[in-house]
Chains A and B, each alone.
Chain A
Amino acid sequence: MKIDVKDVTMIYSSGKKALSDVSFSLKSPEFVGILGPNGAGKSTLMKLMTAGLKETKGEILLDDKKLLDQEQKLKSRLGYLPQSFGLFDELTVWQFLDYMAALKGIKDKSEIEWAMEQTGLSERRKIRVGNLSGGQKQRVGIAQAIMGHPELMILDEPTVGLDPEERVRFRNIFSEMSSERIVFLSTHIVDDVQAVCNRVLVIYGGRILFDGSPAGLIEQTVDHVGSFIRKVDDILPKDCEIVSRINTRNGVLTRIVAGTLPDYVDRCEPSLEDAYLYCIHSSAKKEDEHEG
């Protein structure tokens, strides 16, 4: 399976431009994480890829054919977890998954069993969805997405509301599944991407800032990450973005990313989080300069 997003621009009827000339390709098997701040355009991009929206400009191809011309083909191969979704509270977990299985055209009931097992819902199969906690509902959402082993899984912040242990478990499940399919996952949690994705997209202001491996993103941040002990009255270096602040006996150990690090800042080995922040930071700076 192959998806090509070509020069896609999306402007909503309200006039808001959500995506601007976005281009990238996905090819099975692949686990792609998309990172970006709120409002960057991640969810819009995902809705476009699930044919929930139609691009204003550009095109999205599914196996070299226009995606919107083969919606049925896409729908039959898709597993989708929207960022916010509602469930039918009156149904039990099993009934809801059975309902979704029917929508997805899944005939084999063992798929429902498997999805419940993977998401730890087997014991809650008879509980009505309305009686589940937020995290449990999120797991039901994940279960419906992975059910049927779809060729394309688009997961919009799937680990929101899950405890750390569950988060790790699920990202491992997604990782395992990505060996045979495309998994396209959006998240705020950089660690998740670093742990399992072999490719990362950084999106900001509707534009793709980076498309490559997590290592590649880190690579381009070398010499832009540093730390120093900051006293109370010390002024922060210009154009830097604070990554972390740790209070110590000598002052605040401050980790920053910046285009040019001052001499008093010790260079550090960049993490993916540093790299993501640097990427966003430098893009925002360029935009400011451009607007200035």
Chain B
Amino acid sequence: MRAKLMGVELKRLLMNKKTYLVIVLNILMTALGFLPFVKGVFLDPYYAYTSSLTNNVLIPFAFGGFAAALIWGLYVITDADRAIKKGAEEMTGAYTDEKAVSHARVSAFMIVSAATALVCMILFLPLCMNRMDYLFTFKWYLLYSFAYILPGVWMTIALCSGLYNISRNVSVSLIVVLLLTISQFSPLSETDLFLRWNIPCIFEVSDCYGSVSVIRFLYYSRVALLFLFFAFYLLSVKFIRKYRYGALRSFALNLKKPVSCIPAVMSLAAALLLISFEPFVDHSPVVEYSDEWYDAPYQGKCRSYEAEVNFNTLLGTLNGELNIDLTEAAGQELLFEIRSGIKVRSVTLDGEKLDHSIGYFTEDNNKINLGVKKLVVKNPNKKTGRLKIVYGGYPAISNSMYRRDGYSFCDSVDRDYIKLDDVSVAPQAWGLGSDKLPVVRINIPADHNPTSWGKGLKKIKENADGSVCWECREDVPIIESGVNNTEQVNSDTAFLYAKKYEKTILENRLVESIKDVMSYCDEHYGKLKFADESAGIRIQQISNDFGGGGAGYGYVYMDENFLSPETLSDDNKGGNKNETFMHEIIHLYWGDLGCFLEDDGLWSVEGLDVYTTYRIVKEKYGELYAKKYYVDKWTEAVKHQNRNFYFRHPEYIDILPESYQASIKDSVGGINRYNRMPLMLLKAEEKLGGEEAMDEVLRQLYENGSGNEWDGSEGQTMQDFLDLAGLTEEDIKID
């Protein structure tokens, strides 16, 4: 009968013109989500450096879902109120339990809203496919759009229906819903994603690999919250008025059959269990400063430090075993850095169990925000022996990482992609000296190509289970590993990229771009500085990584966004996709040598990159081409900027509202980076007497810089350049 009841409630809903109005509004709101300004609603503009997937799926559908939730919620409340105000309830209540009618009504609303969500997903599919081009993956589209557009609506339907059941008052219900909605913007919601019920956090997800860990967390949190809201709703039906009594008396009467409360209690228990044991985020509190950890104590020496790590790509977990041959344990305790979320299953010394505990790092030692914990192993006066730590679990992210919307949340262990950013895959001992280098072996799927912060990552064997064992020496590695294509750029250099980009890489001859850049830069500036003498360099495209890229010994990595349609179509950087990609590859050479002095400053790495791109293009396609697509464009942009009122009178910028200030400064900075500075370099070239002299200066500049952004060098400033060139700022000024 309940199904029948739901059927007729559904029919009733579909006969109501208001339902269609709500459906249309739902679709329109989702469409609105595709407009650029909506990005600002969700993301702090400073961090709004998002992937194509985030821009084109997460944000529009999150906005659509949020707005739809409020619209559906309002409709649910007014519809329930209408049934009561019109007196239909007296008639319907005579034939059936009002609770059953409420269930049928809520179910009908959920079905219609789900159908609307489906319509949105189908309707906006072509748009997303078109916008995302080769980055579009149907699976990610389906999973993300669904997670953002529907569960929040369902929660709101359950909440609104529940509130009305309890209050029987439209105003009270609406006020509570609005308060709960507004509460999601509170600072408290920044630290606990479960409070973001119908405005889920927007994550910086990977276009390459979809960030399965985000999907896991997103669905986990949505399911937990749905349980919670359904529990509320199921409890609220106990407040449905009986015999015209008030809310509390009706509740007491309805509670007379405790069995009927079982679904609500079970739903609540499920929600609380899921929330309490959520494995994805490390909710370690920030503890008071203690100098206990600031200076790593000397802990002794070891003869070997070996770890083996396995991954369960289905569950997203890692399991490992660390063996250390202690030759001289200095104290009562051994201290390790271990990834948040990883549980230590056992610690033994020569087979004898040792006590251990996991605690928190303090803010002052700069570890609190990096998703790490400290493992303390009690060492019972035994100075030598084999220490064995067996560990495993779901690599959690620090709760501080997701506080800023738009920040990366890409750590993931899944079939196509393993990324464990910032923290090593094995516990890392502090102050434990060793004559031998650590050896860490990771077993990953055979089609993965890993890169790591460690040195000498080598494939060593194929395992019986089909996985491949890679070994990393010299360091306990942080790894990133994906299913990639590999192109040999030259005898020393390999370019690894996600299969998804194959089409655009081939179409735009991007491997050729790398060859062109490397051959030009090697010749004019010097060899890339990160080469491993034996293994050369791997240029590896990784997933979404806030900051763009980085380099280490034997490899450089580049953020996937370098290959996104948006980046490759950025005409600031080059005349076409091929040239834009050259610009990105040139970054491998200049790194942060140019450093960003300030947002609207005149000297930046971008300017050096654009100038170098111009030079390569000029060499390749001739002066006319380079002039047309580079010099003329720069000149035009600078002319335009010179006419700009705020550029001529920057003193007026400060009196503008902050958002305008930021926008103007950003625009000024863009022109300076991509147009004015290349023109300045061109002028310097003239002053120096030609390209050869200029190349010499740049070669010197390149040599002086470390090229490695991780070694603490501050980069080469404009003054460094001027000193090398023997010029003044006035000499190269562009009017």
Q: Taking beta carbons and an 8 Å cutoff, which residues of A are in contact with B?
A: 13, 47, 50-54, 71-72, 75, 78, 80-82, 84-88, 90-92, 95, 98-100, 102-105, 107, 141, 144
Interface stretch of the complex, out of B1-9, B674-682, B694-702: B1-9
25 intermolecular pairs with C-beta atoms under 8 Å apart = A13-B245, A51-B94, A52-B244, A53-B243, A53-B244, A54-B245, A71-B97, A78-B94, A82-B90, A82-B91, A85-B88, A86-B83, A86-B87, A88-B12, A88-B83, A88-B86, A91-B11, A95-B12, A95-B15, A102-B4, A102-B5, A103-B8, A105-B95, A141-B91, A144-B91
Closest to A46 in B: B94
In the complex, what's the smallest C-beta–C-beta distance from B257 to chain A, in angstroms?
12
* B93 close to chain A: CB less than 8 A: yes
The total of chain B residues at the interface (CB under 8 A) is: 30
* B366 close to chain A: CB less than 8 A: no
A81–B91 alpha-carbon span in the complex (Å): 7
* B275 close to chain A: CB less than 8 A: no
In the complex, what's the smallest C-beta–C-beta distance from A275 to chain B, in angstroms?
32
* B101 close to chain A: CB less than 8 A: yes
Contact with A along B242-282 (1 / 0, CB 8 A): 11111000000000000000000000000000000000000
Check B11–A95 contact: CB distance below 8 A. Answer: yes
Check A52–B95 contact: CB distance below 8 A. Answer: no
Check A75–B11 contact: CB distance below 8 A. Answer: no
Check B1–A102 contact: CB distance below 8 A. Answer: yes
Check B91–A98 contact: CB distance below 8 A. Answer: no
Q: Given A85-B90, A100-B95, A91 and B4 touching (CB < 8 A)?
A: no
Residues of chain A contacted by B94 (CB below 8 angstroms):
50-52, 75, 78, 80, 82
Residues of chain B contacted by A144 (CB below 8 angstroms):
91
* B96 close to chain A: CB less than 8 A: yes
Check B243–A52 contact: CB distance below 8 A. Answer: yes
Known: A47-B90, A78-B95, A87-B88. 12 other contacts (CB 8 A): A13-B245, A50-B94, A52-B93, A52-B94, A53-B243, A54-B243, A71-B97, A85-B88, A86-B86, A90-B15, A98-B11, A102-B7
Most buried by B among A47, A85, A99, A103: A103
Residues of chain A contacted by B4 (CB below 8 angstroms):
102, 107
* B503 close to chain A: CB less than 8 A: no
Residues of chain B contacted by A102 (CB below 8 angstroms):
1, 4-5, 7-8
A95–B8 alpha-carbon span in the complex (Å): 8
Contact with A along B1-34 (1 / 0, CB 8 A): 1001101110110011100000000000000000
* B92 close to chain A: CB less than 8 A: yes
Closest to A82 in B: B90
In the complex, what's the smallest C-beta–C-beta distance from B650 to chain A, in angstroms?
62
Residues of chain B contacted by A87 (CB below 8 angstroms):
86, 88
Residues of chain A contacted by B92 (CB below 8 angstroms):
100, 103
In the complex, what's the smallest C-beta–C-beta distance from B93 to chain A, in angstroms?
6
Residues of chain A contacted by B85 (CB below 8 angstroms):
86
Closest to B14 in A: A90
The 7 A-B pairs with the shortest beta carbon distances in the complex, nearest first, are A86-B86, A54-B243, A86-B87, A80-B94, A102-B8, A90-B16, A99-B8
In the complex, what's the smallest C-beta–C-beta distance from A120 to chain B, in angstroms?
20
Pick the contact of B87: A13, A85, A90 (CB < 8 A): A85
Residues of chain B contacted by A95 (CB below 8 angstroms):
8, 11-12, 15
Check B91–A80 contact: CB distance below 8 A. Answer: yes
Q: Given A90-B16, A90-B17, A99-B12, A80 and B95 touching (CB < 8 A)?
A: yes
Residues of chain B contacted by A88 (CB below 8 angstroms):
12, 83, 86, 88
Q: Taking beta carbons and an 8 Å cutoff, which residues of B are in contact with A?
A: 1, 4-5, 7-9, 11-12, 15-17, 83, 85-88, 90-97, 101, 242-246
A85–B83 alpha-carbon span in the complex (Å): 10
In the complex, what's the smallest C-beta–C-beta distance from B553 to chain A, in angstroms?
71
Residues of chain B contacted by A84 (CB below 8 angstroms):
87
Check A103–B15 contact: CB distance below 8 A. Answer: no
Residues of chain B contacted by A90 (CB below 8 angstroms):
12, 15-17
Residues of chain B contacted by A75 (CB below 8 angstroms):
94-97
Residues of chain B contacted by A92 (CB below 8 angstroms):
15
Q: Given A54-B243, A90-B15, A103 and B96 touching (CB < 8 A)?
A: yes
What secondary structure prevails in chain B residues at the interface with A?
helix
In the complex, what's the smallest C-beta–C-beta distance from A76 to chain B, in angstroms?
8
A84–B90 alpha-carbon span in the complex (Å): 9
Most buried by B among A71, A78, A85: A85
Residues of chain B contacted by A103 (CB below 8 angstroms):
5, 8, 92, 95-96, 101
Closest to A80 in B: B94
A67–B245 alpha-carbon span in the complex (Å): 18
A52–B87 alpha-carbon span in the complex (Å): 13
In the complex, what's the smallest C-beta–C-beta distance from A74 to chain B, in angstroms?
9
Residues of chain A contacted by B1 (CB below 8 angstroms):
102, 105
In the complex, what's the smallest C-beta–C-beta distance from A68 to chain B, in angstroms?
8
Residues of chain A contacted by B95 (CB below 8 angstroms):
75, 78, 80, 100, 103-105
Closest to B11 in A: A95
Residues of chain B contacted by A91 (CB below 8 angstroms):
11-12, 15
In the complex, what's the smallest C-beta–C-beta distance from A62 to chain B, in angstroms?
14
A220–B97 alpha-carbon span in the complex (Å): 44
A193–B7 alpha-carbon span in the complex (Å): 40
In the complex, what's the smallest C-beta–C-beta distance from A91 to chain B, in angstroms?
5
In the complex, what's the smallest C-beta–C-beta distance from B574 to chain A, in angstroms?
59
A81–B95 alpha-carbon span in the complex (Å): 11
Pick the contact of B11: A82, A99, A107, A141 (CB < 8 A): A99
Closest to B92 in A: A103
A139–B243 alpha-carbon span in the complex (Å): 27
Q: Given A52-B93, A102-B7, A82 and B87 touching (CB < 8 A)?
A: yes
A90–B92 alpha-carbon span in the complex (Å): 16
Q: Given A54-B243, A75-B95, A80-B95, A98 and B88 touching (CB < 8 A)?
A: no
In the complex, what's the smallest C-beta–C-beta distance from B243 to chain A, in angstroms?
4
In the complex, what's the smallest C-beta–C-beta distance from A47 to chain B, in angstroms?
8
In the complex, what's the smallest C-beta–C-beta distance from B105 to chain A, in angstroms?
12
Most buried by A among B85, B87, B90: B90
Residues of chain A contacted by B244 (CB below 8 angstroms):
13, 52-53
A236–B260 alpha-carbon span in the complex (Å): 65
A267–B685 alpha-carbon span in the complex (Å): 132
Residues of chain B contacted by A71 (CB below 8 angstroms):
97
In the complex, what's the smallest C-beta–C-beta distance from A89 to chain B, in angstroms?
8
In the complex, what's the smallest C-beta–C-beta distance from A265 to chain B, in angstroms?
46
Closest to A50 in B: B94
Closest to A81 in B: B91
Closest to B90 in A: A82
A95–B12 alpha-carbon span in the complex (Å): 8
Residues of chain B contacted by A98 (CB below 8 angstroms):
8, 11
A86–B96 alpha-carbon span in the complex (Å): 16
A50–B90 alpha-carbon span in the complex (Å): 10
Residues of chain A contacted by B9 (CB below 8 angstroms):
99
Residues of chain A contacted by B86 (CB below 8 angstroms):
86-88
A87–B95 alpha-carbon span in the complex (Å): 15
In the complex, what's the smallest C-beta–C-beta distance from A15 to chain B, in angstroms?
14
A280–B513 alpha-carbon span in the complex (Å): 105
Residues of chain A contacted by B97 (CB below 8 angstroms):
71-72, 75
Residues of chain B contacted by A54 (CB below 8 angstroms):
242-243, 245
A50–B98 alpha-carbon span in the complex (Å): 14
Residues of chain A contacted by B243 (CB below 8 angstroms):
51-54
Residues of chain B contacted by A82 (CB below 8 angstroms):
87, 90-91, 94
A91–B15 alpha-carbon span in the complex (Å): 6
Closest to A144 in B: B91
Residues of chain A contacted by B96 (CB below 8 angstroms):
75, 103-105
A172–B478 alpha-carbon span in the complex (Å): 88
In the complex, what's the smallest C-beta–C-beta distance from A177 to chain B, in angstroms?
18
In the complex, what's the smallest C-beta–C-beta distance from B102 to chain A, in angstroms?
13
A99–B1 alpha-carbon span in the complex (Å): 12
A78–B93 alpha-carbon span in the complex (Å): 11
In the complex, what's the smallest C-beta–C-beta distance from A158 to chain B, in angstroms?
13
A23–B12 alpha-carbon span in the complex (Å): 41
